[in-house]
Structure 1
């Protein structure tokens, strides 16, 4: 049956056991719809353990702002030295991203998460006991390496363990926990010393390391590794003891066996025409996400408010108050409205938000309109923050985890994650220079890029709601003639 589908030009997603009796003696007609499962306790526990890594991600992002004055005063750092400490996190994340896919493929999704937490714990402890800038930078770089790994493997693991009707909502918990980690760290930083704050950062790392042995490995990774019995056992644990998994397990096995007959994938294989659409969508979403100005607005929100004549402290607290509820709303709506509608609404909102911030800077030079500048600045940043949290923050990572076939996921994931962190670094580095050139112009550029994002999503991004990973990947990545010949 697989070969018949291949000869038609692509891997379809046939219900390959629908006409066969299942292992429990029931007929195919009595099967539950494949992937249409409910959330079991094992699935929820596995997701919670995985997103501890997302929380670590958030704590690292949120640490530098509240710790700035304490570190600079106690260790006598200059502004340039502290800027290096803050930015080196992104350099470490790029290094982690380069190897993230390969490590996740070699030692499994659980192994990669545990491996990343070793770097994070080592980094946090280096910050806790640092006596000079060198140890601070080493610790921050180490945390960044762990973040680069986690930013890839967490959403991929969650996507691979969840049924299709729950995958979107569960995967966006990754972004929700990043927001929670960042916001809680920001608030704790106003109450405790920077060393204690760094020590608190090790807690979610330890929780994940302790919890990993109690959750199953990704069934799709196990199938890719040829461990069929382990794949079925893991799938049964995730779907519940009474669930009928024969249909879902058979499709995973069938798809994995077909891909294993293909030649070993390398990073260069990604640039074949076969994977063109997946690559354009995956990389394009990450580029547009970063160049839409998110890190400029998040990292420099206080400075933006002050430049526009508004209280930076009040504005930052308002951002935190908007971010978590909107991310939660996006998580709830993900598997109800679908990915595309949320992305379109989110990109349109970020476009409007940046436009309002640009207007606020224009009004500063207009006599009689100056008093409206701070209002537009606050309104624009909050609209941007809320809209970004609704979709553009988390959905690109969800789609990245869905659109690449299992044999390409390691190389593709490394590339997409690297592009994301590289874009983050470019915008973070260039933002102050852009603001010196033209504050209003900078945000009008960001607004234009967000507008381009709306068109990109409308024209190229597929709707993946309610489809199995195999169905999504088969529709986006039809097998080339060379591949067909190699397995026929």
Structure 2
């Protein structure tokens, strides 16, 4: 068994390396996303770079503007992806990323921080839209699931770095660390190859063959069948250039787009970015007795560990099963947190003996989200759409995901301040409840183990015609 693993690793290590280098940018953006959790308390202290303590509204804008900037990502990547290639878009995302760290480092007013957050959001949106596509196009079928999980893993490592470094250093220490890590981004991505699919699409057949040989660690003859299949697929799918109208050309595409957009918005309305951006603050507000910094580090570790497990269960348990079980779990545990906060902060009951409940519920929340509600929408985008419309569908789903995230992240703290933190958590629970109802209904099909044609038959309500038996 060990020898088989060594032999497979020896042959496929180049694919693992390329996926890791392409995902390195998501580590940097994960750090920028988690930056607000330790930094917002620092902005209220003596070490703040700002001339005054930011107001609640200003803090909400600092938190939410990254998601508004994320809306720019699909608008940039979709038009450019057909012309400059996946590699150069991934490399180009470092420009707004570094700009954000630079602006955050020299900021002396809140408006500079606003621009920094928008720049980080633009980089994050570009990577979210392009890295999963890049990995899907370089990976062999057998290891595509494992390699696709690298993107989520690196994001969570970035969050963990922000959570562990932030509480033990100054504002400038954390910001400088993020900037230094981002400086390694271009050297890392410089060595990744362009995807064979894009090279074939551009008619660079010899280059595509060379890249396949390097990625697969084998000879030209052995990759010829894969290269031929890519050429056939490009010839079939791109007789006419892709258009936005392709997304509603069939009933199945319309249904698939509705499913993916709903689940992508549910991903944000479940409150994930609210929790990640304001983790330290929320742990204090819900009344947990553990220190906010320690609780945040625990959450970061849980994220990283769970994201390593996700690829092992997605293909075994199925998409529909994971969606309804995890959304139901999120509904239950968010409700419990709201009840705890109501008793502790509103009715002032002595809850010392159960002070572990909020952190425990948040840990379970993070596990459930990382297993189901988080990754499944993007898996379905990859499975439900033909190659020709996949990039457009991914861009629209990403755009709606960022839009929902911006709105909720911007107003979550206003709701908490006006109506109590328990009310805000109950709203999150209600959103997850809608996700549960949708997931158990016939509206969400199970795509596990099905071919693209079988999935299209389900979406279009087509039944297989039974051939007549000769008598």
Normalising by the smaller structure, the TM-score range is 0.7 to 0.9
Q: What is the DSSP-based 3-state SS (H/G/I as helix, E as strand, rest coil) of the residue aligned with 1:75?
A: coil
In structure 1, which of residues 436, 442, 445 is the aligned counterpart of residue 427 of structure 2?
Answer: 445
* Residue 94 of structure 1: aligned partner: 71
Q: What is the DSSP-based 3-state SS (H/G/I as helix, E as strand, rest coil) of the residue aligned with 1:40?
A: helix
Matched, 1:350 2:325: no
In 1: Cα distance, 2:11 partner to 2:443 partner: 31
Q: What is the DSSP-based 3-state SS (H/G/I as helix, E as strand, rest coil) of the residue aligned with 2:141?
A: coil
The C-alpha deviation readout for 1:221-256, integer Å capped at 9, x for no partner, is 223333333333322322221583333333322221
**Structure 2 counterparts to residues 113-262 of structure 1, below 5 A:** 113-242=90-219, 244-262=222-240
Matched, 1:42 2:14: yes
* Residue 301 of structure 1: aligned partner: 279
State the aligned residue count: 442
Structure 2 unaligned spans of 5+? 1-7, 461-471
In 2: Cα distance, 1:268 partner to 1:292 partner: 30
For the 8 Å contact 2:71–2:122, the answer to whether it is kept is yes
* Residue 285 of structure 1: aligned partner: 263
* Residue 464 of structure 2: aligned partner: none
For the 8 Å contact 1:360–1:377, the answer to whether it is kept is yes
Tell me by how many angstroms 1:37 deviates.
10
Tell me by how many angstroms 1:399 deviates.
3.2
The C-alpha deviation readout for 1:186-240, integer Å capped at 9, x for no partner, is 2112233322322322344333311333222122222333333333332232222
In structure 2, which of residues 383, 387, 400 is the aligned counterpart of residue 419 of structure 1?
Answer: 400
The C-alpha deviation readout for 1:35-56, integer Å capped at 9, x for no partner, is x999612101110111101101
Tell me by how many angstroms 1:182 deviates.
0.9
The C-alpha deviation readout for 1:146-167, integer Å capped at 9, x for no partner, is 1110111111111221122221
In structure 1, which of residues 248, 273, 276 is the aligned counterpart of residue 254 of structure 2?
Answer: 276
Matched, 1:318 2:291: no
In structure 1, which of residues 65, 70, 76 is the aligned counterpart of residue 37 of structure 2?
Answer: 65
* Residue 359 of structure 1: aligned partner: 339
In structure 2, which of residues 25, 30, 45 is the aligned counterpart of residue 53 of structure 1?
Answer: 25
The C-alpha deviation readout for 1:315-346, integer Å capped at 9, x for no partner, is 32332232221222113434454544444443
Tell me by how many angstroms 1:350 deviates.
1.6
The C-alpha deviation readout for 1:380-412, integer Å capped at 9, x for no partner, is 222112211223223323333444333223322
The C-alpha deviation readout for 1:131-177, integer Å capped at 9, x for no partner, is 44343333332222111101111111112211222212211221111
- TM-score, normalised to structure 1, is 0.80
Q: What is the DSSP-based 3-state SS (H/G/I as helix, E as strand, rest coil) of the residue aligned with 1:106?
A: coil
In 1: Cα distance, 2:351 partner to 2:247 partner: 52
Change (3 A) 1:278 1:218: farther
* Residue 467 of structure 2: aligned partner: none
- Give the superposed CA RMSD: 3.1
Change (3 A) 1:150 1:367: closer
Tell me by how many angstroms 1:466 deviates.
6.1
Change (3 A) 1:372 1:307: farther
In 1: Cα distance, 2:378 partner to 2:181 partner: 21
The C-alpha deviation readout for 1:278-334, integer Å capped at 9, x for no partner, is 312321220111112222333333343333322351432332232221222113434
For the 8 Å contact 1:98–1:415, the answer to whether it is kept is no
In 1: Cα distance, 2:439 partner to 2:10 partner: 29
In 2: Cα distance, 1:391 partner to 1:120 partner: 28
* Residue 3 of structure 2: aligned partner: none
